[in-house]
Structure 1
Amino acid sequence: MRPTSRGIGLAAGALVLLAAGLRFGYVELAVLGAAGLLAAVWAVLFVAWRPTLALTRVADPDRVPRGEPSTMILTLRNAARRRSATLAASDSCGGRPVTVPPLRLRAGRDTTVTYPVPTHRRGRIAVGPLRVTRADPLGLVRFAQAHGDPVTVWVHPRILPLSAIPAGVTRSMDGRSDTVPQGSITFDTLREYVIGDDLRRVHWRSTARMGELMVREQLDTSLPRLVVLLDDRAASHTPLTDGMSASFEAACEAAASVVAAAAREDLPVTLHLVSGVSEEGFSPLDALTAAEPQAASEETFRTATTRLRQQKLGDTLIFLTGPGGRADLGQLATVRTAYPLQVSVVLGGTGRAHPSGWSGGMLVLNAEDGDTFAAEWNGAAG
C-alpha cells in the first residue's frame, strides 16, 4: 500500500491546517484539517480491503507461427460472498506492460477478459504475472499486487511452402529414390520391454545380464535421413537491427520450413546448431524459437563439422547460413563421405552477385529472405 502524491499533499496540508487552526484559534482551519485527515484515513481503510482473487491464464494457442494471432484469456474469480470490486490491471507481455480492460468483479463470480499477444517477432514471450491495482475514489492511496504465474507463448518461425525435399542417396521402401534395390532393417539400440512388444525381438543375452527384459530397437536405414545445420554464429549474419538479424530470422524460417516438409513426407530429420547450444527436450520448432545468434570463435564451425562427420547422423546435409558464412562452405567437403548429398543456403545476400547453382559438388542456393528462399528451393526442386 502506497500513498499517491495527491495523498501525501493532502495529508501534509491537513496537518498544517489542523495545527494552525488549533494554535491560533481558527475553527474553520481546524475543521478543514480534520476533514482532510479523515479523508486520508478513509482512503487507507478503503484500500485495506482487498478481494481474494483466483486467476486462471490460458494462451490460445500457446504455440503460433510468427504473425499469426494468439489470444491471452484471463479468468478471475472474486471469492468474496457479498462485496464486488472494480480494479485496474495491467499484464506483463514480453517484459512490456499491456493494459487490461477494467476488471468488474462481482462477488462469487468469474470475470473473463482477453487481449491479443503480439506475435510479430519470433521468440519466447513470457506473459504475466497480472498486476492488479486498487485505489480509493479520491486517488489518495493505491495498492498493487501480482496474481498468477506467468506462461510462455512460443512464436515459431514462419513455415514456408516447399514443394519437395532432397531424397538422399538411399531408397525408402515406398520408392523415394532408386539408388539401392531394396530397403534394409538393422539394429539401432536396446531398450526396456513394454507391453505389446514382439517377443521375437527380445535380446536374451542382455536380459540375462541386466535382470529385465530388453528388446532390440530396429532402424530402417533405407529411409533418407536429413540433417539441418543452422549457422547461429553472430559473425555469419547481418548486424542486429531493433534486436534482430534479418539473415538469421530468414535462416530460422528456412530451417523450420525444411523440418516441416520432412515431417510431412514422414522423413527422419534432425536439427543442429553450429554453436552446439541445445535445449534438451525441445522439439525442432521450439529449438528454433529459442535460438539466438551466438558469439563464437573461428574453431566453432570446424568443431561442428567434425561432430557431424564422426556421428554420421544422416545422408543429406542442409546447411543454412548468412552472408558471413559463405567463406566456410568449402569446409563442408570434409563431411562429403558421411553426407553425399549437400545443400547450402546463404540467406541475407543478393542472388545477383552470387547466383544459385552447383558448386564444388554441392547445391548452393542464395536468397535475400525467407520468401526468396522458398522460391529458389522450389525452383531447384522443379
Structure 2
Amino acid sequence: MTRRGIGLLAGALVLITAGFVYGYPDLALLGAAALIATVCAVAFALWRPRLGVTRVAEPDRVGRGEPARMTLTVRNTSRLRAASLVAVDRCGRDTVPVPLLRLRPGNDTTVAYPVPTTRRGIIPIGPLRVVRGDPLGLVSLARTYGGVVDVWVHPRIHPLQATPAGAARSLDGRVDKVPHGNITFDSLREYVIGDEMRRIHWRSSAKVGELMVREQLDTAEPTIVVLLDDRASAYPDPELFEYACEAAASVVVAAVREGLPVGLHLVGSVATGPFLDVLTEAQPGAGDLGARLDRLRAHRLGDTLIYLTGTGAVGDLGLVGALRGPYPVIVTGIFGDRGAAPITGGGRMIVIEAADGTEFAAAWDGVRGW
C-alpha cells in the first residue's frame, strides 16, 4: 500500500470507531466509505494482466564499444479487457521505461533500446517489471514477466598482423624454426575404430599385444598457448586487467584467422567454453602461478607461450622464463608502462611493455624474428 492508502485506511478505522463509540453515524458512514475504497483498490490492483514477453538481442555477443540493441515485444494475451500499465525493463544496472497504454486484447507493442557496451562482461536484460495501481493511488503492486536474456560484451579486439613461426623438434632435443610443412612422429595410442590401417605401428602392436596407432604432428604449424594472469595482485589498477583481456582476445582471434591451433589458460581458474566467452567472464582473483606453470611444463601444450600480466607481477618473469625449454618462443605482455617498444630479455623471452591494448598490438606487430 502507498502512503495515501495507509493514511486512508487508518482514517477509516478511526472514523468508524468514533462513529460507533460516540454515536455519530455520519462519521461511521465516512469511515465505511473509506474502507470500501481501500478494499476496491486492493481488488483492482490484484488483477493480474496476462502478458507475453519476447526479447531479441541484436546481436547477443558483441565487442566492447560496438553497438547492440534489445527489441522487446509485449503482447496482451487476455481476452476481456485492455491493459494500461506502468512497466520498466531491467538493462544491467539501469531501467528502461516501456509504454503500455491501452494495450487491447491480442495486440502487442514493441520497444527497441540500445544496450550499454562500454564495459566488458555479461549484461542481464530483464525481467519486465509491471506496476499496477488503482486510480486513487492507494495500492501499487509490482510483478515480473518474461525471462532474462544475457548480452555478452567481449573484450575489444585489436587487429594483429604478425604470427609466430613454427618450431621443429628432433630426437636429440634440437629445436629449429621451419618455413614449410614438416610431419613428424609424436606419440603412440591404442587403435580406435575408424583409424587408417596404414597408421598402425605393427612392431609396437606386437610388443604390447594390442593395435597401436602412430600420432603425427605438423611441427611447422605453431601451437600457441595464451596464459592470462587473472590474479588481482598482478594489476595495481583494475583497468589494466581489461587491457590484458583485450590482448588475449586479439591473439586468439589472430591465431584462429590464420588457422593456427591456439589454447587459452588462466592462472586462477580453468578456461572452459568458447575463448571469447571465457575472457568475458574472467575477473581478477586469487591464483597460484607456480602450479599453473608446472602443469604447462608437464603437458607441453605448444611451442609458443604468450603470457599476459600486469606490472604487479614483474617479479614472476623468472618463473615464466624457466619454460624456455618446452616452449621455444615465449612472449610476455606487461601492462601498466607507457614504453611500448619490444625488449628481448636475455635471449629467453620477448617482453612487450604497453599501456593498453592498442599499444600492445602495435608492439606485437613490431616484433621481428619470432
- Pairing of 1:119-268 with structure 2 (within 5 A): 119-170=117-168, 179=178, 182-184=181-183, 219-239=217-237, 245-268=238-261
**TM-score if structure 2 supplies the norm length?**
0.85
Structure 1 pair 216–138 and aligned structure 2 pair: CA distance change class (3 A): farther
Cα deviation for residue 11 of structure 1 reads: 1.6
Contact 2:89 2:98 in 1 (8 A): no
Q: What are the Cα deviations for residues 180-199 of structure 1, in whole angstroms up to 9, with x where unaligned?
A: 65421656777976xxx786
| Residue 292 (structure 2) aligned to one of 304, 307, 311 | 304
Aligned to 1:39: 37
The one-letter code sitting in structure 1 at the alignment partner of 2:326 is: A
**Corresponding residue SS for 1:169:** strand
Counterpart check, 1:111 vs 2:109: yes
Match of 2:178, SS state, is coil
Give the Cα separation in 2 of the matches to 1:228 and 1:377. Answer: 14
Amino acid at match of 1:260: V
Counterpart Cα distance in 2 of 1:143 and 1:216: 69
Q: Is the 8 A contact 1:278 1:287 kept in 2?
A: no
**Distance in 1 separating the partners of 2:127 and 2:365:** 44
Letter of the 2:156 partner, please give it: R
Matches within 5 A, 1:17-96: 17-24=15-22, 26=24, 28-94=26-92, 96=93
Distance 1:379 1:27 in 2: 94
| Alignment match, 1:317 | 305
CA contact (8 A) 1:43 1:141 kept: yes
Task: State the AA in 1 paired with 2:267.
Answer: V
Is residue 200–residue 213 contact of structure 2 (8 Å, CA) maintained in 1? yes
* 2:268 is aligned with 1:271: no
Partner letter of residue 355 of structure 2? E
CA deviation after TM superposition for structure 1 residue 34, in Å: 3.2
Structure 2 residue identity aligned to 1:367: A
Shift of the 114–186 alpha-carbon distance from structure 1 to 2, 3 Å rule, reads: farther
Contact 2:167–2:303 under 8 Å retained in 1: yes
Give the percent of matched residue pairs that are identical in Structure 1 and Structure 2.
Answer: 54
Q: Which amino acid aligns with 2:128?
A: L
Counterpart check, 1:16 vs 2:19: no
- Three-state SS of the structure 2 residue aligned to 1:55 is strand
Helix, strand or coil for the counterpart of 2:123? strand
Measure how far apart 1:133 and its partner are.
1.3
1:204/1:130 CA distance change after superposition, 3 Å: farther
The one-letter code sitting in structure 1 at the alignment partner of 2:250 is S
- Between the aligned partners of 1:183 and 1:8, the Cα distance in structure 2 is 83
Q: Shift of residue 339 of structure 1?
A: 0.9
Structure 2 equivalent of residue 284 of structure 1? 275
Shift of the 60–78 alpha-carbon distance from structure 1 to 2, 3 Å rule, reads: same
Superposition deviation, residue 126 in structure 1: 2.4
Structure 2 CA distance for partners of 1:187 and 1:327, relative to 1, 3 Å: closer
Task: List per-residue Cα deviations over 1:309-347 (Å, max 9, x = no partner).
Answer: 111111111111100111111222321111111111110
Per-residue deviation at 1:106?
2.1
Q: Which amino acid in 2 is paired with 1:259?
A: V
- In structure 1, stretches of 5+ residues that fail to align are 172-176, 206-213, 240-244
Distance 2:201 2:146 in 1: 52
Q: 1:32 deviation in Å?
A: 3.3
Following the alignment from structure 1 to structure 2, what is the Cα–Cα distance between the partners of residues 191 and 60? 46
State the match for 1:346 in structure 2: 334
Shift of 1:62: 1.2
CA distance in 1 between counterparts of 2:201 and 2:7 reads 85
In the alignment, does 2:78 pair up with 1:100?
no
Per-residue deviation, 1:360: 1.8
- The question of whether the paired residues in 1 share the 8 Å contact of 2:165 and 2:178 is answered with no
Is the 1:66–1:122 contact (alpha carbons within 8 Å) kept by the matching residues of 2? yes
Q: Find the partner of 1:360 among 331, 346, 366.
A: 346
Q: CA RMSD in A?
A: 3.0
Residue type matched to 2:32 in 1?
Answer: A
1:374 matched to 2:361? The reply is yes
Q: Deviations over 1:42-75 (max 9, x none)?
A: 2122112211122222222111111112222222
* Count of residue pairs the alignment pairs up: 352
Letter of the aligned partner of 1:332 in structure 2? V
